[in-house]
Amino acid sequence: GARIVKITDQCKRFWGVKFLSYFMALLSIIFERKLYRMHLKINGEHIRGRIMTVCIGSAWGYGQAPSAVPYNGWLDVSVIYRPELLQLWSGLWMLIQGRILNHKVVMPYRTQKVKVLRAQNASVDLDGRILDRHFPLDISVLHEAITLIIPN
């Protein structure tokens, strides 16, 4: 998520080519696999531990929340714990196929509100823009805040 955005921005400045920047960012992230100490509250359940990434989405986006729909008012949350190197390759393949939620190290949730109480040293991004880290973060859907036009 946010780490890929940071690396991609740096690569875009260096390489100048968008596709090459994303590819180089992906390669560097594969071998990095950082863990962050996090404390989340989802559906009243406290989730604590060392987590690689959390994706909170109300639409398909990067594919980490493949069953999310933009008009039902729910958030799909994917919590990804640290995969081993071989699990990472299978996870990338499952991400491309839209089956990432079936991976062993992924815990999916569906909720209307997420509270991020702590994410030590983790970057936070919103639609590709890095945000300042101010915890706790309350994340929810604003009902009927925008009008969606969905073509047939």
Residue 59 has what pLDDT?
Answer: 79
Residue 37 has what pLDDT?
Answer: 93
Residues 6+ positions from 104 with CB-CB distance below 8 Å: 83, 87
Residue 1 has what pLDDT?
Answer: 59
Q: How many other β-carbons are positioned within 10 Å of the β-carbon of residue 80?
A: 18
Q: Is the pLDDT of residue 108 over 80?
A: yes
Q: Is the pLDDT of residue 112 over 90?
A: yes
Q: Rounded to 5 degrees, what are φ and ψ at 21?
A: -65, -45
Residue 8 has what pLDDT?
Answer: 75
**Domains, the chain, ordered by start:** 1-32 (no CATH), 34-140 (2.60.200.40)
Name the pTM for this structure: 0.74
Token representation of residue 26:
């992906």
User: Which alpha helices (H) appear in the chain, and where do they start and end?
Assistant: 2-15, 18-32, 85-97
Residue 66 has what pLDDT?
Answer: 76
Q: How many other β-carbons are positioned within 10 Å of the β-carbon of residue 102?
A: 11
